[in-house]
Amino acid sequence: MTSTETLAGSTGSAADRTGSAADRRRWFALAIVMTAAFMDLVDVTIVNIAIPSIKQDAGASFSQIQWITAGYALAFAAGLITGGRLGDIHGRRRMFLIGIGGFTLASALCGFAANPEMLVASRVLQGGMAAMMVPQVLSIVHATFPAHERGKVFGLFGAIVGLGAVSGPLLGALLTEWNLFGLEWRPIFLINLPVGIAALILGSRFISESKAPKALKLDLVGVALVTLGLLMLLYPLTRGRELGWPLWGHLSMAGSLVVFGALVAYERRKSARDGSPLVELSLFKVKSFAAGIAVQTVFGISLGIFFLVWTLYMQVGLGWRPLRAGLTGVPFSIAVSVAAGMSVQKLVPRFGRKVLQAGALLMAAGVLIYLAESERYGLGIASWQMALPLVVMGAGMGLIVAPLTDAVLSGVPREHAGSASGLINTVQQMGNALGLGLVSVVFYGEIGDRLTRAQVGPAFVNAFQHALGWVAAVLGVIFLLMFALPKRPAQHLEGGGDGEDEQHLVEEEPVLVH
């Protein structure tokens, strides 16, 4: 054994002893941040099911109903990059605790809202606090777990994503139909209170603090440009259909490209001047990150289209109660969770990028099976007849969600983990918003303006089938984009790096404060 190997071995032994002592602590921390991520995922979808109850009980107008859902999404997307950078600067645990505390408070304000205006304002606050909380989840994982364990952790994260995707509508349906204590829709928000308080107490005890090793400053001009650009893009997409796609909406979306261009130019100068840009442009020089961001954006578009039209298809087209619609999605959720766990632990180490591409093809196959089933059975389709396509789709999604996150972050320096995490979440939200905007074209565009009661069901079924064709096409584009991903994430490569790579890794270790 060479002296270098001896030194590496002794260093590894010391690291093993340290890791063993902190093992229980970091797994507790993982459970806490995953719970917070689950809360956010559920909260995004739980409101949709309760919209009729909110409209009837609170007397909300159609425009206010739009803002109860859109206000959260806009505040969330606009604040994600800033939230990630604040974690890098001030500490990820600190920002996580501030975020979850604020999220819990905003949930209470939503639950006790005296009127629709207060509910809209509380939802905007809730989205802003989620933007402080969510980017810290991936960056805490990235900074706390070594590379060889992150695959397993991201597998768990993928399972949580799958569970949250369907649990929201199901939980919302149950809480609304139960009408606990005569509170109508309010328990969908109040359920966050005990979970948030527990996460706040346990998080302050078990999560270790980490931050960027270099002293960074918050780029306020960058914050303003990112927020302005995202609002100019997402606001017209959110309100466009309701307002009849006015000219100012198209001009605003086009203008957002100018704002993003100005952001890139400013951030490049900012990076050269003091090394503290809001958006770390050097991340896009990492091939795995740049390619993964592109895939994540387009993947978000497909999900944005599918989940909305699927809900409308079941509840409006087929006339199903919310609870039946929620239960129908359970096979999908289970399939996502199982496939996500298998993909990063067993499949990706062996097959690499091919697993993600197989997931895209499998998901597309599930969409086409669903299309065939819908055409065959029409309005008479049953929940069990949807199980096969949903399981195939869920398995495909599970093969994508967990390894994709791993692939995007695999080459990212730990000092930029928060910024990278914020960008990942932001582009996914942007993709979802673009998908929701396209629903007006691929779904509502197929439905007439004036329908009789007898025409509603067939019209919605036909529009659903048309939208599924678009989703399958987008998944085909994702399959092609995945060729730009590295064949294997960095931590799954066999063999060791050279001395230069080892030194690079040492320099990128996060600052941990216990």
Residue with token string 């972050």: 409
pLDDT at position 158: 65
Q: Where are the beta strands (DSSP E) in 144-303?
A: 209-211
pLDDT at position 509: 34
pLDDT at position 492: 40
Residue with token string 């994709």: 404
Distance (Å, rounded) from C-alpha 249 to C-alpha 240? 7
For 357, the token pair is 């591409």
> What letter represents residue 321's amino acid?
R
Q: How many residues does the chain have?
A: 514
For 81, the token pair is 């990059």
Distance (Å, rounded) from C-alpha 371 to C-alpha 393? 12
For residue 76, give the nearest of 50, 94, 102 by alpha carbon: 102
pLDDT at position 477: 92
pLDDT at position 338: 85
Please report, in tens digits, the pLDDT of each residue of the chain (514 residues total).
444 444 444 444 444 555 454 567 778 888 888 888 888 878 777 777 777 677 777 777 666 776 787 778 778 877 887 888 888 888 889 999 999 999 999 999 999 998 888 998 999 999 999 989 988 887 788 777 877 777 677 767 766 766 666 677 778 878 877 777 878 888 989 989 999 999 999 988 888 888 777 656 778 888 889 889 878 887 887 677 667 889 999 999 999 999 999 999 998 888 888 777 777 788 888 877 888 888 988 998 888 788 878 877 887 789 888 788 878 888 888 888 788 878 877 888 888 888 999 999 999 999 999 999 999 999 999 999 999 999 999 999 989 887 787 777 777 777 676 667 667 777 877 787 777 767 767 887 777 667 777 778 888 899 999 999 999 999 999 999 888 887 775 544 333 333 333 333 333 333 333 3
Distance (Å, rounded) from C-alpha 27 to C-alpha 40? 20
For 475, the token pair is 């998944």
Alpha helices in 278-351 (DSSP H): 287-312, 322-328, 330-342, 348-351
pLDDT at position 166: 63
Alpha helices in 244-277 (DSSP H): 247-274
Residue with token string 């989940």: 307
Contacts of 378 (CB under 8 A, 6+ apart): 458, 461
* Angle between the N-to-C axes of helices 417-442 and 220-243, in degrees from 0 to 180, rounded to the nearest 10: 20
pLDDT at position 162: 60
Contact of 138 with 421, CB cutoff 8 Å: yes
Query: Among positive and negative, which fits the CA dihedral 187, 190, 192, 197?
Result: negative
For residue 172, give the nearest of 182, 162, 184 by alpha carbon: 184
Query: Among positive and negative, which fits the CA dihedral 287, 290, 296, 297?
Result: negative
Distance (Å, rounded) from C-alpha 410 to C-alpha 405? 8
Distance (Å, rounded) from C-alpha 406 to C-alpha 153? 9
Q: Is the pTM of this model over 0.75?
A: no
Contact of 158 with 340, CB cutoff 8 Å: yes
* Angle between the N-to-C axes of helices 92-111 and 192-206, in degrees from 0 to 180, rounded to the nearest 10: 170
The pair phi, psi for residue 209, each rounded to 5°, is: -75, 140
pLDDT at position 61: 67
Quickly list DSSP for 343-412: IIIIIHHHHTHHHHHHHHHHHHHHHHHHHHHHHHHGGG--HHHHHHHHHHHHHHHHHHHHHHHHHHHTTS
